[in-house]
């Protein structure tokens, strides 16, 4: 039933429905900046978002992601730049005049109104007919599986139920763009994971455009098709989850998204399509030549913990690969058992420390390593990335 929800409606029409021309992005953010006092919260952000995308703004607290979201909703006006929705500049439009809805971090449900009246609030403001409102509310309540709770007040609901009311209320007007401000932060881990799946399913089914703000990189990677990483008011990288993780553009991004081992480079030598890099802490490493050539600037070699293999003797040698494999000798300095994986910290003979994450693929750990055990950590050149410092 819900698969066939019509996409346009009174609410959007009343607000001046603006559909993008073919090939144009739904939302175009052009050089947007916002300063509070002397603090530049958002510092020249440009970004295109296509219709139907699930986009995540990811960053540490204070990076400007929430300010950017609030400018899209209309709660803050940008000092510079334009925000084009379907080609129309809405940067200075008031919040109630935008075909955009937002799901608030702590849901901001109206405590004096029932679930039904909360969901109907936006529809009444759009001047929808009574019968249509009743139909739409019923539809929304079913969509977020809240049947039977229509007459409850928000404080008679659990955290998960409140989150659903907030979602239903924000979706009810069928906005062209739904903004979600840390929508799952208040839920416990299990519920959060389930809800992530439901949100993705809902977004795909309704074909709506979602922009989610989160500080949780796992959440962003799970749900979003594209992620914009923000740092100090700027977009540091915009990429799909895989590219962001495997090919981060800078050392800061590599460290912010997941765990990573970093070795400062001291010298480099070209060897065909490989670079031989001398590092301070891990001896000489062979890495695949980066796509962007490394200039004379300082840089480091980065490798994710799960890409590092551990073995008692040495790497299994494949013909023609002997010289290419990076081999680091050391002793196990710390073991952290996490259930699915175990993280080992290896103190290298060359002085550095390297972290390796190993999947616990067998229940009985006859092969597990013990503290102070001599070990070889190894990885291939293709598993490394070279990052400017």
Partner 1 sequence: MSARRIFARPARFAAIAPYVWMALFFLVPFGFVLKISLSQTAIAQPPYEPVFHLTAGWTAIRAAFAALGFDNFRLIASDDLYLFAYLRSLTVAVTATALLLLIGYPIAYGMARLPKRWQAVAMVLVIVPFWTSFLIRIYAWINILQHDGLLNQILLALHLVSEPVVWLSTDTAMYVGIVYSYLPFMILPLYATLAKMEPALEEAASDLGAPRWQVFWLVTFPLSLPGVGAGVLLCFIPVVGEFVIPDLLAGSNSLMIGQTLWLEFFTNKDWPVASSAAIVLLVVLLLPLLLYERLQRRQLEER
Task: State the residues that interact with partner 1 by CB under 8 A.
Answer: 11, 14-15, 73-75, 94-96, 100-102, 104-106, 108-112, 121-122, 125-126, 153, 155-156, 169, 173
d(CA 114, CA 103): 17
Strand ranges in 280-352 using DSSP code E only, listed in sequence order: 284-288, 299-303, 309-311, 326-337, 341-348
Considering beta carbons, is residue 112 or 313 the nearer one to partner 1?
112
Distance in Å, CB of 13 to partner 1, minimum? 12
Distance in Å, CB of 102 to partner 1, minimum? 5
Distance in Å, CB of 46 to partner 1, minimum? 24
Token digits of residue 128? 């929808």
Phi then psi dihedrals of residue 232, to 5 deg: 50, 45
d(CA 210, CA 54): 5
Distance in Å, CB of 122 to partner 1, minimum? 4
Q: In this structure, which long-range contacts are made by residues 326-329, counting pairs with CB atoms below 8 Å and at least 24 apart in sequence? A: 326/285, 326/286, 326/378, 326/379, 326/380, 326/381, 326/384, 327/376, 327/377, 327/378, 328/282, 328/283, 328/354, 328/376, 328/377, 328/378, 329/374, 329/375, 329/376, 329/377
Considering beta carbons, is residue 104 or 252 the nearer one to partner 1?
104
Task: For the chain, give the longest Cα–Cα distance.
Answer: 76
Distance in Å, CB of 54 to partner 1, minimum? 20
Distance in Å, CB of 1 to partner 1, minimum? 24
Considering beta carbons, is residue 111 or 148 the nearer one to partner 1?
111
Strand order in the sheet with 100-103: 100-103, 177-181, 209-214, 54-58, 226-231, 234-239
Whether the CB-CB separation of 358 and 322 falls below 8 Å is answered with: no
Considering beta carbons, is residue 136 or 169 the nearer one to partner 1?
169
Distance in Å, CB of 326 to partner 1, minimum? 51
Considering beta carbons, is residue 170 or 260 the nearer one to partner 1?
170
Token digits of residue 7? 């996409």
Considering beta carbons, is residue 111 or 340 the nearer one to partner 1?
111
Token digits of residue 240? 């799909």
Q: Is 255 helix (H, G, I), strand (E, B) or coil?
A: helix
Considering beta carbons, is residue 106 or 194 the nearer one to partner 1?
106
For every residue of 60-119, DSSP letters joined together read -TTSSHHHHHHHHHTSS--SEEEEEETTEE-TTS-GGGSSEEEE-TT----TTS-HHHHH
Distance in Å, CB of 105 to partner 1, minimum? 8
Considering beta carbons, is residue 101 or 203 the nearer one to partner 1?
101
Considering beta carbons, is residue 175 or 305 the nearer one to partner 1?
175
Considering beta carbons, is residue 36 or 337 the nearer one to partner 1?
36
Helix (H) or strand (E) holding 180: strand 177-181
Distance in Å, CB of 48 to partner 1, minimum? 23
Considering beta carbons, is residue 53 or 76 the nearer one to partner 1?
76
Distance in Å, CB of 49 to partner 1, minimum? 19
**Sequence-ordered list of residues with C-beta below 8 angstroms from that of 303, at least 6 positions apart, any chain:** 260, 261, 379, 383, 384, 385
- The residue among 289, 306, 296 whose CA lies nearest residue 386 is 289
Q: Is 299 helix (H, G, I), strand (E, B) or coil?
A: strand
Helix (H) or strand (E) holding 385: strand 385-388
Distance in Å, CB of 145 to partner 1, minimum? 22
């Amino acid at each position: 039933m819900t698969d066939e929800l019509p996409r346009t409606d009174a609410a959007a029409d009343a607000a001046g429905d603006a559909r993008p021309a073919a090939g144009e992005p739904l939302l175009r953010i052009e050089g947007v900046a916002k300063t509070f006092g002397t603090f530049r919260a958002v510092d020249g952000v440009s970004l295109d978002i296509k219709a139907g995308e699930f986009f995540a703004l990811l960053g540490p607290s204070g990076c400007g992601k929430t300010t950017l979201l609030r400018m899209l909703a209309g709660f803050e006006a940008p000092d510079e730049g334009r925000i084009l929705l379907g080609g129309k500049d809405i940067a200075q439009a008031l919040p109630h005049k935008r075909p955009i809805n937002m799901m608030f971090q702590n849901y901001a449900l109206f405590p004096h109104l029932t679930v039904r009246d909360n969901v109907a609030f936006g529809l009444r403001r759009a001047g929808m007919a009574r019968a249509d409102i009743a139909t739409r509310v019923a539809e929304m309540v079913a969509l977020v599986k809240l049947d039977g709770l229509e007459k409850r007040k928000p404080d008679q609901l659990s955290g998960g139920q409140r989150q659903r009311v907030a979602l239903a209320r924000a979706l009810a007007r069928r906005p062209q763009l739904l903004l979600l401000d840390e929508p799952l932060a208040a839920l416990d881990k299990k519920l959060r994971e389930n809800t992530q799946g439901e949100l993705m399913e809902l977004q795909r089914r309704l074909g709506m455009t979602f922009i989610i703000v989160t500080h949780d990189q796992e959440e962003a990677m799970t749900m979003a098709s594209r992620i914009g990483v923000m740092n100090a008011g700027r977009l540091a990288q915009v990429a799909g989850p895989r590219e962001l993780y495997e090919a981060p553009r800078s050392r800061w991004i590599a460290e912010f998204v997941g765990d990573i081992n970093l070795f400062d480079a001291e010298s480099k030598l070209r060897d065909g399509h490989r670079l031989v890099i001398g590092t301070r802490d891990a001896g000489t490493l062979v890495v695949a030549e980066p796509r962007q050539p490394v200039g004379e600037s300082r840089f480091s070699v980065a490798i994710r913990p799960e890409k590092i293999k551990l073995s008692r003797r040495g790497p299994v040698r494949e013909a023609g690969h002997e010289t290419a494999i990076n081999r680091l000798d050391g002793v196990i300095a710390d073991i952290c058992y996490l259930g699915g994986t175990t993280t080992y910290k290896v103190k290298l003979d060359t002085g550095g420390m390297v972290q390796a994450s190993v999947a616990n693929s067998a229940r009985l750990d006859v092969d597990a390593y013990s503290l102070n055990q001599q070990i070889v950590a190894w990885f291939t050149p293709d598993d490394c990335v070279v990052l400017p410092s």
